[in-house]
Amino acid sequence: MKLVFHGCRGSVPASAAAFSKYGGHTACVEIRFADMQIIFDTGSGFRNVRLQPDLQKIILYSHWHHDHIQGLAFNSGVLDPSNKITIASALTSKLALKPILQTYFSNPYFSVDIIQASSHLCFEDFASLSQLYQPVFALDSILLNHPGGAAGYSVVYGKRKIVYLCDNEYSEAQFADLRAFVAGATIVIWDGMFLDKELGTRRGWGHSSIEQGISFFKKSGCAALLLTHHHPGRADDDLDGLTASLPRGVRFAHDDLEIIL
* Domain ranges within the chain, ordered by starting residue: 2-260
pLDDT number for residue 119: 87
Give the dihedral sign, CA 128/51/118/108. positive
pLDDT number for residue 79: 87
Residue 117 above 90 pLDDT?
no
- Among residues of the chain, what percentage have pLDDT more than 90? 96
Tally the residues of the chain: 261
Max Cα-Cα span within the chain: 49
- The order of strands in the sheet holding 150-157 is 138-144, 150-157, 160-165, 187-191, 225-228, 250-252
Residue 109 above 90 pLDDT?
yes
User: First vs last Cα of the chain: how many Å apart?
Assistant: 5
pLDDT number for residue 6: 98
CB 47 within 8 A of CB 72: no
Is residue 123 classed as helix, strand or coil in its secondary structure?
Answer: strand
> pLDDT, tens digit, for every residue of 158-217?
999 999 999 999 999 999 999 999 999 999 999 999 999 999 999 999 999 999 999 999
CATH number at 2-260: 3.60.15.10
Is residue 243 classed as helix, strand or coil in its secondary structure?
Answer: helix
Burial class (CB in 10 A: 0-12, 13-18, 19+), 82: exposed
DSSP H or E run through 86: strand 85-88
On average, the pLDDT of the chain sits at: 96
Instruction: Report how far residue 153's alpha carbon sits from residue 38's, in angstroms, rounded to the nearest whole number.
Output: 11
Residue 52 above 90 pLDDT?
yes
CB 51 within 8 A of CB 32: no
